Structure 1
Amino acid sequence: MAIETINPYNNKSVKKFDELSEKELEGKIATADKAYSSWKSSSFAERKKLLNKVASLMKKKKKELAEMITIEMGKLIAQSEAEIDMCISVYEYYAENGEEFLKDKDVEVKDGKAFIRNAPIGIILGVMPWNYPFNQVARMAAPNIMAGNVIAIKHASNVPQCAKAIEDLFLEAGAPEGVYTNLFLSSKKIAKMAEDSRIAGMSLTGSEGAGSSLAEAAGKNLKKSVLELGGSDAFIVLEDADLENAVKSAVTGRFGNMGQACTSSKRIIVVEEIADAFLEKFKSRLEGLKVGNPLEKDTEVGPLSSEEAVKTIEKQVKETVKAGAKVVIGGKRMDREGAFFEPTILTDIKKGMTAYHEEIFGPVASFYRVKDESEAIALANDSSFGLGGSVFSKDIDRAINVASQIETGMVFINEHTASRPDLPFGGTKRSGYGRELSALGIEEFVNKKLIRIAE
């Protein structure tokens, strides 16, 4: 398996890396295990210092790191810079709040005393995606390192320079060798690693298939796991919504990162009363966007992450249109060098069509018109996914009532689904389980140890 940077702007190879041999892999796991034996006893002050130093280095290297993201997976440079900013906020957030989150918690008892002490558990193996190559790692690494665990990361094979850069940042920040370890491996090696007694937990962000495979391996070996998988977020616009805000949020929510986000607003569900007006404004915002080099600041439409990504989306759109859906705008790959696909809106999508049931991981919005609020909720819930979602209405109590009925891990009112260090992130149904970020994210891989004192 090639571990290689291929620039999706021109589909040219940039750099290749060798996969670890069995001997090299064993050496890295042994080093991580040795690091854990001392890191678990490190002070919160020491852990805080490390995370803040990583954040500081990322601030200094922001331009370099952002360009690396753009070259490896095609993200618009302004969005790559925003990703680095988000990482910085995640590292600083856990540096500032980690100790408080993990402090002893008293348990009310009738006699004597009891409390819960959060203790680290060991090496946490992370399998990370290419779409947010720095940020997704940060939200897994920061809380766990602050908790006293150590991290081993098998990153996506198409972002190896980002993968190596993260490890280099930790080493430059003064992390003992093994506290953060990058593993150049094929996905096929993950199930075998789950058998290693030194691996205490496993976390994956990625596809349903990859999540199912990791969960099976983790379960078979009695390892705790966290899965953040796909999504097909419903974006519900009620008739009393602020239309301009809803349209603006739909464009950003669906086409940010070229639609390559698990929480992208993939299903736009609009009440009939305002559906035509919404669709007209939505379409008009996509017309005339500048296509070009993602490294140039004025580019508005860049490439997808890879040629494979374009082919997958092209197939999904063709199948959906062949089954009777209509293309409002876009609908095909661009006739130019690189992994480009047109920003697309599909309508008249019915149950049984590809776009109705599958996650389309790219710049394709599925537009649905419904007669009322009840129909919007029913359509939102008619999905195997349950990650995020949005509700737009000027009546906040009404929006909360709708949000409470949507079967998903997160619902945002009057804004598209987003990620912040202080908000728990995660889903339900086939979108996975467990939570990242906030206080909940640091509690996933700790031993909540009861200490009981007799009266």
Structure 2
Amino acid sequence: MAKLEFNNESTYKKFLEGGKEAEFDRLFDKAVEEVKKGFGKKYPMYIGGSEVFAQEQLEERSPINKDIVIGYFQKGLRSHAREAINAAKNAFRDWAALDYRKRVEIFKKAAEIFSAEKFTVAAILSYENGKSRYESIGEVDEAIDFLNYYANEMQNNKGYLRKTVIRQSSARVNSGFQGAPGSEEKITIYMKPYGVFGVIAPFNFPISISVGMSTGALITGNTVVFKPSSTDNMSMLTGLKIYEIFTRAGVPKGVFNYVTGPGSEVGDEIVTSDSVSGIVFTGSKSTGLEMVAKTYSSGKQKVFIVEMGGKNPTIVSKYADIADAVDGIVSAAFGFAGQKCSALSRVYVNESIKEKFISALMEKTRTLKIGNPLEKENYVGPLISESAYRRYVEYVEKGKAAGNLIYGGKRADVGLNGFYVEPTILEIKHENEIMHKELFVPILAIDYYKDFDDALYKANDVEYGLTAGLYSKNKKEIGKFIDSIEAGVVYVNRRISATTGAIVGAHTFVGWKGSGLTGKGTGSRNYLQQFLREQSVAVVK
């Protein structure tokens, strides 16, 4: 095979650049009408390629309007998780032995199917977690990008196999020792899959992150037990679409198993099972570290590839273009109602531009329309659940008590049975809990600084290290920021978004400190090797 080139999907950009925005909207609106006709059905789990039903079911409702029942899914138990693990274990040997080029073909095919059905998948996604059409299409594009990028990486690296030779020496010794002369050795360095991976997915990117994690495990020869978010924040129908598309693309029975159910049952069984070799997870730091601790404290050993959220800062210098800074900050803080691990939640502003910045920030935030995200004019959709709403109320009240509420802070009445809230801006000191705790709601906290070094200290003074932004035209400040910021994904003077929107193949998405474990990022050249273990094989003639 020739070396594969990678190109991002970029659906909306292509429609917009082609003067076809109306066609984009028509296709999305048509998909919305079609997918809602199928809501309310009962769906099975899929284990070893077969439909499996549990005694109890989970009812999934749309956060857009809680009156909409998306579907009824199975409340899987530990026994179902064990069954899925056994199916994946039994399928592992044949899947691992399959030529990597065959696996590349399968996932290229999956990318083609996602691309052909992107508006349908995006419409389901919007109903399921409340994203706008632009966010949803962007997420489906990212899933397609992961499929194509990882397929290219497997092919371009020839399955990560390397060969070398130690030449025969003319000298001989009676007994061997380190570095002794000997016969010719032909050495092959293999990168081999571990076995069964548990893929535990989040609600907020149930297509792109789920596809990215699953593809990473599968294309390298591992088998998977996949658990979508199945309790408070449900995203089970998009998970089922992934299973269906992978199956249609040619993933064999038992290689990818779809199991729904609570984390206390299904998730815990996956984490504690001796037959599961690795866990790939995106979610909270507390859950991620709890899984690691439970595994290693019991004497077990697994591979953990986890991304655990962030508390992402942006610094606005006195040398900033304020208009660019405000655009990027509002997008990063309030897009998808702040429910992204990369969302901006704290800003440090130079005191000399305080009034000008706050005025521009409030003016921009006022333009954001809150409401049904299926309607194109609305930017801020619903919170995913009542628990998220309660968290929003709690920290708005704490912010008002400890600082100054300068915008928002209330529930928004949009005429729908959902948890819609106003984007909220607080002035609060860096030492406050709100500046340090990941909230996953649209609350932006602002503090001020005199000295740039103080701003850098505050930006780094949290347990997380996922994304970070800077707005400054001063080269010295930019250089110091890049040298000193403790985050894996860093943006400088990015108007489109201060901290969100990493592009597969361009930005590595990786967490430092409490935001990750391996220091290797998704959508990068280093990602797939985490799912493989090295083996050196030397053969003497």
Q: Pick from 114, 117, 134 the counterpart of residue 207 of structure 2.
A: 134
Q: Is the 8 A contact 1:4 1:159 kept in 2?
A: no
- The answer (yes or no) to whether the contact 2:395–2:434 under 8 Å persists in 1 is yes
1:251-400 aligned at under 5 Å gives the runs 251-323=330-402, 325-336=403-414, 337-351=417-431, 353-396=432-475, 398-400=477-479
Moved more, 122-131 or 336-345: 336-345
Give the partner amino acid of 1:433.
Answer: L
Deviations along 1:44-87, one digit per CA (max 9) or x if unpaired, are 22111111111111112112111111111111122111111111
The one-letter code of the counterpart of 2:237 is: Q
**Partner Cα distance (1:2, 1:211) in 2:** 26
Identify if the C-alpha distance between structure 1 residues 454 and 399 changes in structure 2 by more than 3 Å, giving closer, same or farther: farther
Q: Which runs of 5+ in 2 are unaligned?
A: 1-55, 167-178
Cα deviation digits, residues 372-427 of structure 1 (max 9, x gap): 21111011111121111112222456313212212222222222233222233222
Match of 1:441 among 527, 531, 536: 527
Structure with the greater alpha carbon radius of gyration: 2
For the Cα contact (< 8 Å) 1:191–1:217, is it kept in 2? no
Of 489, 511, 520, the match for 1:427: 511
Q: Structure 1 stretch 166-175 or stretch 26-35: which is displaced more? A: 26-35
Q: Structure 1 residues 107 and 279, CA, compared in 2 at 3 Å: closer, same or farther? A: farther
Matched residue type, 2:340? A
Q: Structure 2 CA distance, aligned partners of 1:105 and 1:318?
A: 59
1:89 aligns with 2:145: yes
Amino acid at match of 1:118: M
Most deviating of 8-17 and 223-232: 8-17
Contact 2:109 2:249 in 1 (8 A): yes
Instruction: Supply the AA of the counterpart residue of 2:411.
Output: R
Structure having greater relative contact order (Cα 8 Å, sep ≥ 6): 1
Q: Which runs of 5+ in 1 are unaligned?
A: none
Does 122-131 or 104-113 show the bigger shift? Answer: 104-113
Counterpart amino acid of 2:367? G
- Give the 3-state SS of the residue equivalent to 2:344 in structure 1: coil
Q: Quote the Cα distance in structure 1 between the aligned partners of 2:77 and 2:317.
A: 56
Q: Aligned equivalents of 1:414 and 1:240: distance in 2?
A: 11
| Deviation larger for 3-12 or 72-81 | 3-12
Cα distance in structure 2, aligned partners of 1:143 and 1:193: 18
**Pairing of 1:72-221 with structure 2 (within 5 A):** 72-101=128-157, 102-105=159-162, 116-157=189-230, 158-189=234-265, 190-219=267-296, 220=298, 221=300
Cα offset for 1:197? 2.8
Q: Give the alignment partner of residue 6 of structure 1, picking from 51, 61, 70.
A: 61
- 2:46 match: none
Deviation at 1:355, TM superposition (A): 1.0
Most deviating of 27-36 and 257-266? 27-36
Q: Does the CA-based 8 Å contact 1:104-1:116 persist in structure 2?
A: yes
Q: Is the contact between residue 466 and residue 489 of structure 2 (CA under 8 Å) also seen in structure 1? A: yes
* Residues 389, 350 of structure 1: alpha-carbon distance in 2 compared, 3 angstrom cutoff: closer
Post-superposition shift, 1:194?
3.0
Distance in structure 1 (CA, Å) of the matches to 2:162 and 2:423: 50
- Residues 263-296 of structure 1: CA distance to partner in whole angstroms, max 9, x if unpaired? 1111111222223222221111111322221111
Pick the aligned partner of 2:88 from 11, 25, 32.
Answer: 32
| More divergent stretch after superposition (97-106 vs 337-346) | 97-106
The aligned counterpart of 2:21 is none
Q: Note the C-alpha offset of 1:229.
A: 0.8
Summarize deviations over 1:284-322 as a string: whole Å, max 9, x none: 111132222111112122111112211111111211211
Instruction: Give 2:376's aligned amino acid.
Output: K
Q: Give the AA of the match of 1:185.
A: G
Tell me: CA distance 1:395–1:452, structure 2 relative to 1, closer, same or farther (3 Å): farther
The SS at the match of 1:297 is coil
Amino acid at match of 1:75: K
2 CA distance for matches of 1:208 and 1:24? 26
Q: Which amino acid aligns with 2:284?
A: S
Is residue 120 of structure 2 the alignment partner of residue 64 of structure 1? yes
TM-score, normalising length from structure 2?
0.79
Q: State how far apart, in whole Å, the 2-side matches of 1:23 and 1:406 are.
A: 46
8 Å contact from structure 1 (residues 4, 160) kept in 2: no
Closer/same/farther in 2, CA of residues 396 and 120 from structure 1, 3 Å limit: farther
* 8 A Cα contact 2:143 2:208, kept in partner: yes
CA contact (8 A) 1:320 1:349 kept: no
Q: 1:9 is matched by which residue type in structure 2?
A: I
Q: Which piece of structure 1 moves more, 416-425 or 59-68?
A: 416-425
Correspondent of 2:481 among 376, 398, 402: 402
The question of whether the paired residues in 2 share the 8 Å contact of 1:121 and 1:446 is answered with yes
1:299 match: secondary structure: coil
1:105 positional shift: 4.7
Return 134-143 or 12-21, whichever deviates more. 12-21
2:197–2:225 Cα contact (<8 Å) kept: yes
Shift of 1:350: 4.4
The verdict on how the C-alpha distance between 1:224 and 1:56 changes in structure 2, with shifts beyond 3 A counting, is same
Q: Distance in 1 between matches of 2:188 and 2:471?
A: 43
CA apart distance, 1:164: 1.1
Checking the alignment, whether the CA contact within 8 Å between 2:224 and 2:257 is kept in structure 1 is yes
For the structure 1 residues 378 and 115, does the alpha-carbon distance in structure 2 shift closer, same or farther, using more than 3 Å as the test?
farther
Greater alpha carbon shift after TM alignment, 206-215 vs 329-338: 329-338
1:105, 1:269 → 2: CA distance?
48
State the AA in 1 paired with 2:359: E
Q: What is the identity, as a one-letter code, of the residue corresponding to 1:8?
A: P
Q: Which residue type is aligned with residue 207 of structure 1?
A: S
